[in-house]
Amino acid sequence: MKPTKESELNLSGATRYLDDLPATEGMLYGVPLTSPCARGLLRGIDASAALALDASVSVLTASDIPGENQLGEAVSDESLLVDGEWSYLGQCLALALAATPSLARKAAALVRIVYDELEAVTDARAAAESGSFILPSRTMRSGDPASAFSRCAIVVEGRVESGGQEHVYLEAQGAIAESLEGGRVRVVSGTQAPSGVQRAIARTLGLGMHDVEVEARRLGGAFGGKEDQAAQWAALAALGAARTGKTVKVYLNRREDMNWTGKRHPYSSDYKLGLDAEGRILAYEADYYQNSGACCDLSPAILSRTLFHAASAYRIPNLRVTGRMCRTNLPPFTAFRGFGAPQGVFVIECALDAAAREGGWDPVELRLKNLLAEGDSFHFGQPVADCRARRTVDRTLELSRWTELRAEIDSFNSAHRLVKRGAAILPICFGVSFTKLVMNQGGALVHVYGDGSVSVSTGAVEMGQQVARKIQVIAARSLGIPEGLVRVESTRTASVANTYSTAASTGSDINGMAALAACEEIRGRLLGLAARMLGADKGELRIESGFVTKGCEITELAWKELVDKAHLDRIDLSAHGFYATPGLFYDMKAERGSPFAYHVYGCSAVTATLDALRGTYRFDEAFIVHDVGESIDYDVDLGQVEGAFAQGLGWAALEDLRYDERGRLLSDTLSTYKLPDLRFMPSAVKIEFLEGAPNPKAVMRSKAIGEPPLLYGIAGYFAILDALRAVDRTHPTKAPSSAPYAYDLPMTPEKALDFIQGVRR
Ligand code: LUZ
Ligand code: MOS
């Protein structure tokens, strides 16, 4: 990869993350005391032993909060510090402050609480049975599935489980809050949503938003984990700063972060799929039981993305899908790259898998037959436009030499008893835009300094995805100057206000457009001046590579000179830009509309080799053809596809989140929670971007890149399943039961071994 300035800083270790910022004089460290069981009633807090530890110690509780003790935005069900009942293990009860992190941890441990343990629920279906929901259920329909099922030649039904996923961002959650004069606070927060954190702190402290400044410098990864859940750590730090008048830092260690913060939602789902004799899908029904955890958080938005992606890349004329947000006593599950789509896509893929077996169809033929095409509509009414499903699938079949590959695998399998190979193909179709309309807006502030260098601020948070790099390219191209002249600033609420989270893969779509608007404004002013200076028509002038050009000629007028002259002429060299994604609308009552600006298409093919005695496996090859529109930075986009695929493969086949029945996380370290590493990845990964595929709906004809490729990992699950099905059923131990296969993601080696041995899970 071609080094950019940012990646050079990252690789050399020069980048300063939150924990690298130098400690300031008198700074205090805040460590929360958290709840010891999944559900309980707090009867009293005794901090005397903690306070006796050191003169620097203080302990804050709910009664120290001057404003509202409430973080929930959609539903008011999340207190910052518990006052009364708590609803998950790891919920914050008090904040211990001390002069060093270890003193603060000791102090938190010395706080005594009196409480009653209450009965807890951790299972989504059990919560549903007892009527414990975050909000009422939500259903989308199209056509008439009930009558369509009666016309089907084949109907398959079953259950699908998918597990959660821990973000494991390299940098844990945290914030540093500085108390300013007059009760104001300035906070550096590891958040994807600086304006959201600003609002949360203002509410907590009873201040106006103008008294709270939030900066997100750059995050060491987030993946959705810092979209909603960064707010509580920032609010705690701000509370500490407000109460003590000192700078307060809250920074979780890995184990705290894994235990206390939310993860991807586990789902338990029922499906029913009906097809005609030729294998065309006629009807589909699904019921999703989302384990939402103890508080609302982003669960409704995540559920809506599940429902929007229920049919994935397939045409389904009659459909009914219902989602339920089941309230359980686990830490609130939250945004995670893909945001509900992977869970929904996995269910329809399982249904197709079951149908292919039942109908004796080739799995790839079956998918091709039902693939979305131009002229189709999604089940929520949006027309399928500029559809690239078939193009990406066809190219994947070519790139992987699918027909030969399949034949090679089949002959390998007939020649080997104890080692089996498998393969799977998976098309994707991912809708881009926040499903909540209001969030599809962003702003930018651009300054051209007197020496011709440029500063760009937007609402986009840099979290390693290189959105800053893309915005730099966009600004430089717009102004016609070398990229080195453009600096993209860290994200501050005082520079760009009322922004939404850098999320939904829209970071560069929205903020790039806002930056572009501001740059175009300044460019227009400068070209007007250049036209007067050169006695030319503004329409024939451009700026390219730092010089004004007229028609095809380069003039003598350089960027720096033009900027200098503009300043002398008292022309404003700053501009604000704004972008609101056009054309979006949605009627929640009718469940009809066009919620997405466009869709991202693509396809993956994954092969695996299974040890049929042990259940262990490895991935051999992956072929991915992905639709990025016109890439703004090839290396960045390639890195995003690779990383998302790895993360998807981890979710599908490895990452195993385990809780005990009392809600304690068992896999709370990186020795018990395994992550995909280089050796887990296929030995060969071939990624190709679809050519000649400009996207008129986004900045510089590009497409969003962050989340869609995560779905490719799901092919890994089915590649292992394919290999498992080739295992000789008379060997080595018991024959598998004839009961229908229960789809249960992740496909860990343990589950693969159970499959081989015929244990029904
Ligand atoms: N966050 C959000 C998201 O608030 N709304 C969304 O639609 C979304 N989609 C994907 C990822 N994060
Ligand atoms: Mo979201 S999963 O923070 O893009």
Q: pLDDT tens across 491-504, in order?
A: 999 999 999 999 99
Number of H helices, E strands in the chain: 19, 30
Percent of the chain with pLDDT strictly greater than 70: 98
Average pLDDT over residues 510-525: 98
Instruction: Say how many Å lie between the CA of residue 333 and the centre of ligand 2.
Output: 12
- What pLDDT band is residue 4 in, cutting at 50, 70 and 90? low
d(CA 85, CA 746): 34
d(CA 20, CA 188): 12
CA distances from 193 to 30, 77, 198 (A): 22, 20, 9
Residue 8 is predicted with a pLDDT of 85
Helix axes 507-534, 467-479, angle to 10 degrees: 20
Contact 187, 170 (CB under 8 A): no
Contact 192, 501 (CB under 8 A): yes
More confident residue, 460 or 761: 460
Is the Cβ atom of 339 under 6 angstroms away from ligand 1? yes
Residue 728 has pLDDT above 80, yes or no: no
Task: Map out the domains of the chain as residue ranges.
Answer: 26-119+167-260, 267-434+591-757, 441-580
- What pLDDT band is residue 473 in, cutting at 50, 70 and 90? very high
Residue 680 has pLDDT above 90, yes or no: yes
> Alpha-carbon torsion 207, 213, 217, 222, what sign?
positive
Average pLDDT over residues 98-108: 98
Residue 276 has pLDDT above 60, yes or no: yes
Residue with CA at minimum distance from ligand 1 atom 10: 504
More confident residue, 736 or 23: 23
d(CA 216, CA 507): 14
Residue 639 is predicted with a pLDDT of 97
435 alpha carbon, closest ligand: 1
- What pLDDT band is residue 9 in, cutting at 50, 70 and 90? confident
Pairing of strands 28-34, 248-251: parallel
Is the Cβ atom of 298 under 6 angstroms away from ligand 1? yes
State the CATH architecture for 441-580: 2-Layer Sandwich (3.30)
Average pLDDT over residues 643-658: 98
**pTM flag (> 0.85):** yes
> Alpha-carbon torsion 649, 652, 656, 662, what sign?
positive
d(CA 238, CA 518): 33
Is the Cβ atom of 192 under 6 angstroms away from ligand 2? yes
At which residue do the structure tokens 């195993």 appear?
656
Residue numbers annotated as active site: 707
Residue 729 is predicted with a pLDDT of 61
CA nearest neighbour of 458 among 429, 490, 481, 426: 490
Half-sphere exposure of 664 (CA within 13 A, CB side): 5
Q: Who's near 246: CB < 8 A, 6+ residues apart?
A: 26, 27, 28, 179, 240
β-sheet bridge partners, residue 420: 610
- What pLDDT band is residue 760 in, cutting at 50, 70 and 90? low
351-389 pLDDT tens trace: 999 999 999 999 999 999 999 999 999 999 999 999 999
235-266 pLDDT tens trace: 999 999 999 999 999 999 999 999 999 999 99
Residue 735 is predicted with a pLDDT of 47
192 alpha carbon, closest ligand: 2
Instruction: Say how many Å lie between the CA of residue 75 and the centre of ligand 1.
Output: 17
Residue 296 has pLDDT above 80, yes or no: yes
Report the atom number in ligand 2 closest to the C-alpha of 192: 3
565-580 pLDDT tens trace: 999 999 999 999 999 9
Instruction: Say how many Å lie between the CA of residue 394 and the centre of ligand 1.
Output: 30
Is the Cβ atom of 336 under 6 angstroms away from ligand 2? yes
β-sheet bridge partners, residue 178: 186
Is the Cβ atom of 673 under 6 angstroms away from ligand 2? no
- What pLDDT band is residue 7 in, cutting at 50, 70 and 90? confident
Is the Cβ atom of 334 under 6 angstroms away from ligand 2? no
Average pLDDT, the chain: 96
185-223 pLDDT tens trace: 999 999 999 999 999 999 999 999 999 999 999 999 999
Fold of 26-119+167-260: Aldehyde Oxidoreductase; domain 4 (3.30.365)
Please tell me what DSSP assigns to residue 336: -
CA nearest neighbour of 538 among 550, 546, 547: 550
Q: Which residues of 479-515 are buried (b: 16+ CB within 10 A; e: fewer)?
A: bbbeeebbbbbebbbebbbebbbbbbbbbbbbbbbbb
Instruction: Say how many Å lie between the CA of residue 223 and the centre of ligand 1.
Output: 11
Is the Cβ atom of 336 under 6 angstroms away from ligand 1? no
Class of the CATH-defined domain 267-434+591-757? alpha beta
d(CA 215, CA 211): 13
Residue 42 is predicted with a pLDDT of 98
Residue 759 has pLDDT above 80, yes or no: no
Average pLDDT over residues 614-637: 97
Long-range Cβ pairs for the range 543-547 (8 Å, 24+): 543/479, 543/480, 543/481, 544/480, 545/480, 545/481, 545/482, 546/480, 546/481, 546/482, 546/485, 547/480
Instruction: Say how many Å lie between the CA of residue 482 and the centre of ligand 2.
Output: 32
Strand order in the sheet with 454-458: 486-488, 454-458, 441-448, 574-580
Whether the ω angle into residue 732 lies within 30 degrees of 0, i.e. cis, is yes
Residue 732 has pLDDT above 60, yes or no: no
Q: Who's near 216: CB < 8 A, 6+ residues apart?
A: 188, 189, 190, 191, 192, 194, 461, 490, 491, 492
| Most ligand 1 atoms within 8 A of CB, residue of 305, 307, 336, 502 to mutate | 305
Report the atom number in ligand 2 closest to the C-alpha of 222: 3
Report the atom number in ligand 2 closest to the C-alpha of 227: 3
Report the atom number in ligand 2 closest to the C-alpha of 707: 4
Residue 738 has pLDDT above 60, yes or no: no
d(CA 146, CA 555): 71
Furthest-apart CA atoms within the chain: distance in Å: 89
Contact 187, 201 (CB under 8 A): yes
Residue 544 is predicted with a pLDDT of 97
At which residue do the structure tokens 């003590």 appear?
244
Average pLDDT over residues 391-408: 98
SS3 assignment, position 615: coil
Percent of the chain with pLDDT strictly greater than 90: 95
Residue 6 is predicted with a pLDDT of 76
d(CA 578, CA 442): 6
At which residue do the structure tokens 């501001």 appear?
518
Is the Cβ atom of 222 under 6 angstroms away from ligand 1? no
Residue 1 is predicted with a pLDDT of 45
441-580: same fold as 267-434+591-757?
A: yes
Residue 661 is predicted with a pLDDT of 87
